């Protein structure tokens, strides 16, 4: 192997090791970095609303506080409704699980498999569907939703601080880039491009998430699925997670539909098709049509970002994965040495 080849190999290995170290650092520093990252995304997203209030001579700090307070009240109301409905669902859950156990117990395990598992049919299906543990899990989820409001409050406070300091931070970044590389104007252009991209994405995604949640609620209500409001709220939140979120939101409704109407196969099939049609239409027709070239990311880049940030930061990472990879793509586009990454990410 020649010396240039060895140099390239060493560079690649060092880059790989650095990437692993950076990923480990992000995972370990999650409690500190994640609230700041979410707040930064929120600050970009609500900037047009703050500027709109400034046109009416509202001070920037008051505009930021007003917008964030409205978001807090709206989200708090939604979470309170969802938690209340979730508690009602936990009361009804044993009935659903008993229905499921009844359907499963109509199936019989082959004698050889039952002998190997050392169970009879009844005990096997009872262990497969643990009623008590699932009810406890639902209760824990409701309590976690209430506890999450504390973290949400912290994020909103950081958001207010970032909005107020936005102009000073932008100016300092421009000066730093100008003094270090002489490319201050390019730094300003990059920030503006990231700003515009995130604002467009969040505005469209929020509108589509509202429409998705309402559509899912309407279809579930038509077919008499219990707790359609809860699944509609779930659809609103999960629609922010690309690719898999809408499908996950539709799954509980389909499951309850079959539990309640398994005896009427035609009705259950019609309901299933209608429910599945909602995420299909939004994911394959409506969102691509509205986003057009504004997202400018290919499917595999979005999927990889979802898996990576979901692995590093959990559900919150999945929520903010697309804006993060969008910002990375814009930065790489403006740096010649990194432009190949932008080309790999773009649609």
In a domain, 123, yes or no: yes
Please give the residue range of the domain that contains residue 88.
Answer: 32-164
Domain membership flag for residue 105: yes
Structure letter (DSSP) for residue 264 = -
Instruction: State residue 63's pLDDT score.
Output: 87
* pLDDT for the residue 43: 84
Say if CB 235 and CB 217 are below 8 A apart: yes
**Distance (Å, rounded) from C-alpha 322 to C-alpha 344?**
15
- Is residue 94 domain-resident? yes
- 87 assigned to some structural domain: yes
Helix intervals (H) in the chain = 3-28, 30-54, 60-105, 111-117, 121-128, 131-164, 166-181, 184-222, 228-238, 245-261, 265-281, 287-291, 299-319, 321-334, 339-345
- For the stretch 112-139, pLDDT in tens is 555 555 555 555 545 555 555 555 555 5
| Number of structural domains found in the chain | 1
Question: Mind listing the pLDDT tens digit for each residue in 138-161?
Answer: 555 555 555 566 677 778 888 888
Phi, psi of 166 (to 5 degrees): -55, -50
Please state the pTM of the whole predicted model: 0.77
What does the alpha-carbon distance between residue 347 and residue 296 come to, in Å, rounded to a whole number?
5
Q: Is residue 53 part of a domain?
A: yes
Q: What residue has token string 């008993």?
A: 98
187 and 178 Cβ atoms separated by less than 8 Å: yes
Establish if 10 belongs to a structural domain.
no
Separation CA 261–CA 267 (nearest Å): 7
Q: Does residue 85 lie in a domain region?
A: yes
Answer yes or no: is 98 within a domain.
Answer: yes
Segments of the chain scoring below 70 in pLDDT: 1-6, 8-9, 12, 15, 101-150, 170, 173-174, 176-185, 292-295, 347
């Amino acid at each position: 192997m020649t010396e240039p080849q060895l140099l390239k190999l060493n560079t690649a290995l060092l880059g790989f090791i650095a990437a692993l170290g950076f990923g480990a650092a992000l995972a370990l520093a999650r409690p500190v970095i994640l609230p700041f990252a979410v707040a930064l995304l929120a600050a970009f997203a609500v900037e047009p609303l703050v500027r709109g209030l400034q046109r009416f001579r509202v001070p920037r700090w008051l505009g930021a506080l007003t917008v964030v307070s409205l978001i807090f009240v709206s989200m708090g109301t939604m979470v309170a409704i969802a938690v209340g409905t979730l508690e009602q669902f936990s009361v009804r859950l044993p009935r659903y699980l008993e229905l499921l156990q009844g359907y499963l117990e109509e199936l019989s395990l082959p004698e050889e498999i039952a002998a190997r598992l050392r169970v009879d049919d009844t005990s096997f299906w009872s262990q497969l569907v643990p009623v008590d543990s699932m009810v406890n899990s639902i209760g824990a989820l409701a309590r976690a939703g209430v506890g999450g409001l504390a973290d949400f409050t912290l994020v909103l406070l950081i958001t207010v601080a970032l909005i107020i300091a936005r102009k000073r931070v932008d100016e300092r970044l421009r000066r730093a880039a100008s003094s270090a590389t002489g490319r201050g104007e390019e730094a300003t252009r990059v920030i503006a491009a990231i700003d515009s991209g995130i604002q467009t994405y969040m505005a469209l995604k929020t509108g589509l998430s509202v429409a998705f949640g309402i559509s899912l609620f309407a279809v579930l209500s038509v077919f008499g699925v219990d707790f359609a409001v809860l699944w509609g709220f779930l659809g609103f939140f999960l629609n922010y997670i690309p690719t898999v979120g809408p499908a996950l939101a539709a799954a509980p409704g389909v499951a309850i539909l079959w539990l309640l109407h398994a005896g009427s196969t035609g009705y259950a099939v019609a309901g299933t098709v209608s429910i599945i049609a909602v995420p299909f239409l939004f994911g394959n027709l409506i969102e691509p049509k509205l986003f057009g070239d504004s997202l400018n990311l290919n499917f595999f880049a979005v999927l990889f970002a979802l898996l990576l940030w979901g692995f590093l930061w959990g559900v919150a990472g999945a929520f903010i994965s697309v804006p993060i990879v969008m910002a990375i793509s814009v930065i790489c586009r403006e740096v010649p040495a990194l432009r190949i990454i932008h080309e790999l990410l773009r649609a």
